[in-house]
Amino acid sequence: MEMPAPNPEVLAKKARVVAQLQDVLPRSAVIFEESETRAYECDALTAYRCPPLAAVLPSSTQEVAAVLKVCHAEGVPVVPRGAGTSLAGGAMPTADSVILGVARMTEVLEADYANRTIRVQTGRTNLSVSGAVEEEGFFYAPDPSSQLACAIAGNIAMNSGGAHCLKYGVTTNNLMGVTMVTMEGEIVEIGGAYLDASGLDLLGVICGSEGQLGVVTEATLRILHKPEGARPVLMGFDSNEVAGECVSDIIKSGILPVAIEFMDRPCIRATEAFAGAGYPDCEALLIVEVEGSEEEIAAQLERILAIARTHNPVELRESRSADESARIWLGRKSAFGAMGQINDYMCLDGTIPVSQLPYVLRRIGELSKEYGLDVGNVFHAGDGNMHPLILFDANKPGDLEKCEAFGADILRLCVEVGGCLTGEHGVGIEKRDLMVDQYAPADLDIQMAVKDVFDPKWLLNPAKVFPLASSETRRMAVA
């Protein structure tokens, strides 16, 4: 992956920059020795790595502002980082950048049950936001697979989704307000515990901007009362096509499951070997979950099962207890770990129109043979958000490059059938150079024009999202 050459001036003044950072932060919050910065050289995408100039761990919005003022004045790029769980390399540094981690900012500032909102510092993990309101019966709906570890800051940056967003929406649909620090170090409040924007929807464009417009330090999030119960049903089919049709029929029927998850045969087999969840050995498997009271669940499942039966399933397993539900979900939740047991993997994230599922899965199968790399598919079928996992051997020279080429082909295929490059992981570094396959130059230009407004010096999260060639004139203009 091509990266811009680090700014030699910045590299040369490392000591001065570090000293200034130490002036505004506690000692333990400034990390600059080489043996230490290395641990910050990548996030959950390890294929691309580069140790930063330094890493800082502020504990408050004021400290974040102080750091940004220093970096802005010195012209040092800043890479914001939540929990470092990005699969797209969203928090990967450059050699001349300072990593700004919000991991120390984990406080719950206010839980307001009457208005159904919670205000948190953004270093707090997604799951612990729900944890903070659990005793009162509430939860925070967006549930990315990494919800145990991922931070709200990263969720906002990437507009993260999750298995249950079919019903509850993704981050942007559950985000009401933020405190953000601009690259200049100015603290701004956008939105709050009320709905919609008064003027332009700045919150809407900040969410999903991959940390390139500002550093979000606090967020007001919508919380909901937990449903009375939830129960999944597991369905096995003897072809991907049939499973795809079943998904479409369920959606059309008017029942809104909270999740429809899809696994294909390679993934089912890997998962069975690793977690032993008792899945049937079939071509395609769906997990459909519905919520409500016992009676409501029964009524919904009855409809869903009736639809499923019209597609001749090889297996229909309705959960009848918490234990059985956990077993049905066990395999799905261990899928990534299971694939990781076989080999290194690259996890893609393209979204396609649901109607294209069978065709795209068939093409992925063909490409898999051409490239000689195995691939397993596990994904959120209700919304067409695919997660092909391409297996490769990181220790085998050339394998990563082959995997990248295969991945790019799959993503281009997603765009070709009317979908997009990424449904919930973000562009980051990983899909940066594929942006031209989805957007025309002018479409990218207008997005970059937004960055010009928020970050005129182009210092925030450099070299991400936009192909280097597309952003070159802008970067050169301020260099």
Partner 1 sequence: MQTTFTDDQLKDPGIQRANDILRACVHCGFCTATCPTYQVLGDELDSPRGRIYQIKDMLENERVPDAKTVMHIDRCLSCLACMTTCPSGVHYMHLVDHAREYIENTYKRPFTDRALRWILAQILPYPMRFRWALIGAKIGRPFRFLMPDARLKAMLDMAPRSIPPVSRNDDPQSFAPVVTKKMRVALMTGCAQKALNTDINDATIRLLTRLGCEVVVAEGAGCCGALTHHMGKAKESHATAAKNIAAWCAEMDGAGLDGIVINTSGCGTTVKDYGHMFRNDPLAEDASRVSGLAMDVSEVLMKLDLPEGDAKHTVVAYHAACSLQHGQQIKTFPKELLKKAGFTVVEPADSHLCCGSAGTYNLMQPEISGQLKARKVRTLEAKNPDIIAAGNIGCMMQIGSATDVPIVHTVELLDWATGGPQPRALTEPGKKVPEIPILR
Partner 2 sequence: MMRPKSEAELADMVAGATAALRIQGGGTRDIGAPVAGAVLSTGGLSGVSLYEPGALTLVAGAGTPVAEIEATLASEKQRLAFEPMDHRGLLGGDGVSTIGGVVAANVSGPRRIQVGACRDSLLGVRFVDGAGRALKNGGRVMKNVTGYDLVKLMAGSWGTLGVLSEVSLKVQAMPEAVGCVLVHGLSEVDAVSAMSAALGSPYDVSGAAHAPVGADGHPVTMIRIEGLEASVAYRAAKLTDVLSSFGGEVSVERDPDRVAAGWTWVRDVAVMHNTVGDVWRFSVKPSEASGVVANLRAAQPDLVVLYDWGGGLVWVKMPEGVDARQVDFHGHATLVRGSEATRKSLAVFQPEPAPLAALSNGLRAQFDPRGILNPGLMG
Interface residues for partner 1 in 303-362 (CB under 8 A)?
A: 333-334, 336-337, 340-341, 344-345
246's tokens: 């079943």
Q: Which is nearer to partner 1, 298 or 326 (CB)?
A: 326
Does residue 165 bind partner 2 (CB under 8 A)? Answer: yes
Q: Which of 62, 182, 239, 343 binds partner 2 (CB under 8 A)?
A: 182
Is residue 217 within 8 A of residue 64, CB to CB? The reply is: yes
CA distance 129 to 151: 10
Which span sits near partner 1 by CB under 8 A: 37-45, 189-197, 220-228, 444-452? 37-45
Minimum CB separation of residue 51 from partner 1 in Å reads 10
Does residue 419 bind partner 2 (CB under 8 A)? Answer: yes
Does residue 134 bind partner 2 (CB under 8 A)? Answer: no
Does residue 135 bind partner 2 (CB under 8 A)? Answer: no
CA distance 454 to 183: 8
Does residue 207 bind partner 2 (CB under 8 A)? Answer: yes
Cβ neighbours around 473 below 10 Å, total: 9
Fill in the amino acid letter for 56: V
Burial of 421 by CB count in 10 Å (0-12 exposed, 13-18 middle, 19+ buried)? buried
Q: Which of 116, 269, 457, 475 binds partner 2 (CB under 8 A)?
A: 116
Which string of x and - marks every residue 249-288 that binds partner 2 (by CB under 8 A)?
x-xxxxxx--------------------------------
Task: Pinpoint the alpha helices (H) of 214-320.
Answer: 240-252, 265-275, 294-309
Chain Cα centroid distance, residue 165: 13
Q: Which does 183 bind (CB under 5 to 8 A by kind): partner 2, partner 1, none?
A: none
Does residue 146 bind partner 1 (CB under 8 A)? Answer: yes
Phi, then psi, of 101 in degrees rounded to 5 = -95, 140
Is residue 456 within 8 A of residue 478, CB to CB? The reply is: yes
> In Å, what is the CA distance from 256 to each residue of 157, 307, 326, 360, 383?
28, 13, 21, 24, 12
Burial of 34 by CB count in 10 Å (0-12 exposed, 13-18 middle, 19+ buried)? exposed
Q: Which of 188, 469, 476, 478 binds partner 2 (CB under 8 A)?
A: 188
The two most distant CA atoms of the chain are separated, in Å, by 70
Q: Which is nearer to partner 2, 59 or 385 (CB)?
A: 385
Does residue 427 bind partner 2 (CB under 8 A)? Answer: yes
Minimum CB separation of residue 203 from partner 1 in Å reads 26
Burial of 476 by CB count in 10 Å (0-12 exposed, 13-18 middle, 19+ buried)? exposed
Minimum CB separation of residue 457 from partner 1 in Å reads 27
Map the footprint of partner 1 across residues 224-283, applying CB under 8 A. 274
Question: Is the torsion defined by CA of 204, 208, 213, 219 positive or negative?
Answer: positive
Burial of 8 by CB count in 10 Å (0-12 exposed, 13-18 middle, 19+ buried)? exposed
Bridge partners (DSSP) listed for residue 346? 390
Does residue 185 bind partner 2 (CB under 8 A)? Answer: no
Q: Which does 279 bind (CB under 5 to 8 A by kind): partner 2, partner 1, none?
A: none
- Alpha-carbon dihedral 60, 65, 66, 69, rounded to 10 degrees: 170
Q: Which is nearer to partner 2, 34 or 135 (CB)?
A: 135
Does residue 217 bind partner 1 (CB under 8 A)? Answer: no
Element (H, E) at 69: helix 61-74
Q: Which does 264 bind (CB under 5 to 8 A by kind): partner 1, partner 2, none?
A: none
Does residue 218 bind partner 1 (CB under 8 A)? Answer: no
Q: Which does 94 bind (CB under 5 to 8 A by kind): partner 1, partner 2, none?
A: none
> Which residues are near partner 1 by CB under 8 A?
28, 31, 33, 35-36, 38-40, 42-44, 46, 55, 57, 83-85, 101, 103-104, 106, 123, 125, 127, 146, 148-150, 274, 333-334, 336-337, 340-341, 344-345, 394-395
